Chains A and B, each alone.
Chain A
Amino acid sequence: MSARRVGLLVAGVVAALLPALLPHPFVLTLATQAVVWALLAASWDLLSGYTGQVSFGHAGFFALGAYGAATATKHADLSPWLGLLAGALLAGLVGLLAGFPALRLRGHYLALVTLGLAEIVRLVAQNWLALTGGPFGIHDFRSFPGLPATALGQRQAVYLITLGVAGAAVAAMLWLCERTRAGQAFRAIREDEVLAAHLGINTTGWKLLAFAVSSAGAGLAGALYAYYINLVSPVVASAATTSLVIGMAVFGGLGTLWGPVLGAILLFGLSEGLRFVGVVYNLIAIGLVIMVFVIFLPRGLAGLRSSGPGALRSSE
């Protein structure tokens, strides 16, 4: 436990000092994206890995957050700080609403419904021209106030803001899962929902909470993405986003939250590194990583650490 704390501390310090250690716009751009992916992967894991309610629709929640934030700033002239909140709230609300029907569904069916939901979000983003700008999306909205004037300074500041917000959100989710009754309930639901209900756990309420928190986290990631890249288009809602984030989570280790964070950063780095070899090879590699890890290492990188004999879902 204390080794983990030291590790976390070192990782946090390195991440915070990155703008000073490697003051290069390209590096910071990649680092900012990696942080956004990490938050998205952790959010997906809270619902799918930790609570066992598999979502194939996190691209939709991510897009809702991005569009919510961009619209709030562009049309309502809301400060980006409030825009982050607006994006997260919008995604969390839709996630909560999606949670109600999803309560009756399990496994395959839940995955398919959430996939359909994301596809609906994508089609609305693509076709509701007046609000979403259609295929070209929303652009030219302001970013965080009071950023430095230089291009490098802006990159550094936006990276630190993204890191701070995403780091706080992941920490909050970790706290929820590991330090509160919610985490125990989530795990109980994942392991045996019927048994959990018989033990007096309010499975309905906790599942809805997991839906709301997870989709709000994905929405927050989307909002951070929107302010960093200053362009939101329907592409973000495509199923490729979901498959990438699931790949990251599987790579890192389901049901641990920190595994998917690590998986997101490593897989994003791998995929960007492979860009130099050829743009298409990074996605081939991600497909391979997903297949190999699902078949041989379903507990991901996180599972390599503890050498317990093959318990599939033990996250202790």
Chain B
Amino acid sequence: MLDTVLEFAIQGVVLGGLYGLFAVGLSLIFGVLDVINVAHGEFFALGGYLAVGAIALLHLPAGAGVAGAALGAFLLGLAVYPVLIAPLKRRLGRRPAGPLYLVLTLGLSTFLQSSLLAVAGGDYLQVQSYVRGILDLGVTAVSYQRLLVLATALVLLLGLFAFLRFHRLGLAVRAVAQNPDAAQAVGIDLPRIFALTLGLGAALAGVGGALMAPLFNVYPAVGFPLTIKAFAITILGGMGNLAGALLASFVISLAEAFSVMVIPSQWQNLIAFVVMIVVLLLRPQGLLGRARTR
């Protein structure tokens, strides 16, 4: 019994790290730009492909593959603001955007996903684990690859939180999230911050995709279900609330892991969406969010 519980707990925590990488970036983008990035999962898929390409095709070391994935996703994310969002913003002026950003990033998602399909084909790709071996915990065991996923996720997120708290640019990002007009008034270059935020969020997703490549398969649509689930997580955490998104990542991942003890495993993906709908009805501001009018 204990070993089963422990095993599910480990599974849940590792998955929570992955969800955290993904959902914190999504929540950051929403908090700063007020844009829900439907294409977030495609950055995850891109990261997976870049890692597979670097490691399997170019025979680079795994670390270089992950770094390449981060860089590639960062650069593509950087381009999203000037190429797509800024022109729409300019045309709209002060008029409400309504759902237009959602539809715009949905188009980006379709475009990126099918471009990956065109370039890499629809095959399920896999790479060998970046680190071999298994850590024996006595009652149960966990592979070093899974520990690597968790450790990298936590280090990166810690780095992100530190960046936002202490670095000049990070402070600027937070200032824009709080009040774009005031931020601009004190001389913050808004387009630069917007582009940087999208780049950072995309890079986190890209690293997630690269880290998961040995555990899951990589295919063009691999990220999209994760995007939908991350919506549920960010809503549970309170949209735009980063600590909330991280907490909610672990709540959902642990609930999914332990649900297997109660319900058949093929239903575990349902949990996030049921939670999302219940949260929106009972506590729309999320776990850590304060009620606000947005």
A: which residues have CB within 8 A of B?
48, 52, 54, 56, 101, 104-105, 107-109, 111-113, 115-117, 119-120, 123-124, 126-127, 239-240, 243, 246-247, 250, 278, 280-281, 283-284, 286-291, 294-296, 298, 312
Partner of B98, one of A54, A112, A288: A54
Q: Mark B174-190, 1 if CB is under 8 A from A, else 0.
A: 00000000000000000
Judged by a CB distance under 8 angstroms, whether B95 is at the interface is yes
Given A105-B280, A116-B277, A284:B118 Cβ within 8 A: yes
Contact (A286, B231) CB under 8 Å given A54-B99, A294-B104, A295-B91: no
Partner of B280, one of A48, A101, A123, A286: A101
Give A43 Cβ to nearest chain B Cβ, in Å.
17
Q: Are A111 and B99 in contact (CB under 8 A)?
A: yes
Complex CA gap A120/B235 in Å reads 17
Q: Which residues of A contact B166 (CB under 8 A)?
A: none
User: Is there contact, CB below 8 Å, between A112 and B231?
Assistant: yes
A-B contacts, 8 of them at CB < 8 A, read A108-B99, A109-B284, A123-B273, A280-B114, A283-B110, A284-B115, A291-B104, A295-B104
Nearest CB in chain B to that of A54: its residue: B99
In the complex, per-residue mask of B71-107: 1 if CB is within 8 Å of any chain A CB, else 0: 0000000000000100110011001001110111011
- Chain A CB within 8 A of B224 CB: yes
How many residues does chain B have at the interface if contact means C-beta atoms less than 8 Å apart? 44
CB pair B107–A291 under 8 Å, yes or no, is yes
**Cα distance, A296 to B88, chains bound together (Å):** 7
User: What 0/1 pattern do residues 192 to 227 of B give for CB contact below 8 A with A?
Assistant: 000000000000000000000000000000001100
Q: Are B277 and A113 in contact (CB under 8 A)?
A: yes
Q: Which of B95, B107, B264 has the most CB of A within 10 A?
A: B107
A126 to B96, CA, bound (A): 38
B274 beta carbon closer than 8 Å to chain A? yes
- Please state if B117 and A291 are interface contacts (CB–CB under 8 Å): no
Residues of B within 8 A of A250 (CB): 103
Complex contacts, B270 vs chain A, CB 8 Å = 120, 123-124
Residues of B within 8 A of A101 (CB): 277, 280-281
Contact of A123 among B107, B224, B267, B277 (CB under 8 A): B267
Instruction: Please indicate which of the listed interface residues B95, B106, B117 has the most CB atoms of chain A within 10 Å of its own CB.
Output: B106
> B107's contact among A52, A280, A290, A298, by CB below 8 Å, is which?
A290
A52-B103 contact in complex given A101-B280, A123-B269, C-beta closer than 8 Å: no
> Which residue of B is nearest A116, CB measured?
B273
Name the CB-closest residue of B to A48: B99
How close is A285's CB to chain B, nearest CB, in angstroms? 9
* B276 interface residue per 8 A CB criterion: yes
Q: For B119, give the chain A residue with the smallest CB separation.
A: A280
- For the A-B complex with A280-B118, A287-B113, A296-B91 known, give 8 more contacts whose Cβ atoms are closer than 8 Å: A109-B284, A111-B36, A116-B231, A283-B113, A283-B114, A286-B107, A291-B104, A291-B107
Instruction: Find A113's partner among B84, B87, B276 (CB 8 Å cutoff).
Output: B276
The answer, yes or no, to whether B111 is at the interface (CB within 8 Å) is yes
A105 x B284 contact (CB < 8 A)? yes
CB proximity of B18 to chain A, nearest CB, Å: 19
Q: Is the CB of B118 within 8 A of A239?
A: no
- Tell me if B112 counts as interface (CB < 8 A to partner A): yes
Query: What residues of chain A lie closer than 8 Å to B98, measured between beta carbons?
Result: 52, 54, 107
Please report the C-alpha to C-alpha distance between residue A243 and residue B102 in the assembled complex, in whole angstroms.
11
C-alpha gap A33/B266 in the complex (Å): 32
CA distance A119 to B269 in the complex (A): 9
Question: B162: CB under 8 A from chain A?
Answer: no
B284 contacts which chain A residues (CB < 8 A)?
104-105, 109
Taking CB atoms, residues of chain A closer than 8 Å to B87 are 295-296
> Do the beta carbons of A288 and B99 come within 8 Å of each other?
no
Judge if B109 is at the interface, Cβ distance under 8 Å.
yes
* A104 and B281 form a contact (CB under 8 A): yes
User: What separation, in Å, do the CA atoms of A56 and B269 have in the docked complex?
Assistant: 19
| Contacting pair A111 B102 (CB below 8 A) | yes
Closest to A115 in B: B228
> Is B232 in contact with chain A by the CB < 8 A criterion?
yes
Query: Considering the complex of A and B, which 6 residue pairs feature the smallest CB-CB distances, nearest first?
Result: A287-B111, A290-B107, A283-B114, A287-B110, A54-B99, A116-B273
A190 to chain B, nearest CB (A): 9
Q: Judge if B154 is at the interface, Cβ distance under 8 Å.
A: no
| Cβ contact within 8 Å between B108 and A112 | no
In the assembly, what is the distance between CA of A289 and CA of B103, in Å? 11
Chain B nearest CB from A266 CB (Å) reads: 17
A283 to B95, CA, bound (A): 30
Question: CB < 8 Å: which of B36, B108, B112, B228 contacts A108?
Answer: B36
B102:A108 contact, CB within 8 angstroms: yes
Q: Which residues of A contact B84 (CB under 8 A)?
A: 291, 295
Is B106 within 8 A of A243, CB to CB?
A: yes
Whether B103 lies near A112 (C-beta < 8 A) is no
Determine the residue in chain B with the shortest Cβ distance to A291.
B107
Distance in angstroms between the alpha carbons of A286 and B103 in the assembled complex: 12
Taking CB atoms, residues of chain B closer than 8 Å to A111 are 36, 99, 102
In the complex, what residue of chain A is closest to B89 when comparing beta carbons?
A295
Using Cβ atoms and an 8 Å threshold, which residues of chain A touch B117?
280, 283
